[in-house]
Amino acid sequence: MDNNCIFCKIADGRIPSTIVYQDNEVVAFKDTNPQAPVHVLLIPRRHIASIAELTPEDEPVMSAIFAAAQNVARQAGVEQGYRFLTNVGRQAGQSVFHLHFHLLGGRDMTWPPG
Ligand code: 5GP
Ligand code: ZN
Please tell me whether the overall predicted TM-score, pTM, comes out greater than 0.95 for this model: yes
110 alpha carbon – ligand 2 mean position (Å): 30
Task: Examine residue 45 and state whether it is found in any structural domain, yes or no.
Answer: yes
- Per residue in 32-49, pLDDT tens? 999 999 999 999 999 999
Would you call 26 exposed, middle or buried from its count of C-beta atoms within 10 A (0-12, 13-18, 19+)?
buried
In a domain, 111, yes or no: no
Number of domains in the chain: 1
Domain contains 110: no
Cβ contact 73:5 at 8 Å: no
Query: Where residue 28 sits, what CATH number does that domain have?
Result: 3.30.428.10
Q: If pLDDT is split at 50, 70 and 90, which confidence band does 88 have? A: very high
68: in domain: yes
Residue bearing the CA closest to ligand 1, atom 18? 32
Domain that holds residue 98: 6-105
Q: Is residue 37 part of a domain?
A: yes
Query: Is 29 a member of any domain?
Result: yes
Say yes or no: CB of residue 6 within 6 Å of ligand 1: yes
Number of helices (H), then strands (E), in the chain:
2, 5
At residue 3, the pLDDT reads: 86
Q: Is the ipTM of this complex over 0.95?
A: yes
Q: Is the beta carbon of 33 within 6 A of some atom in ligand 1?
A: yes
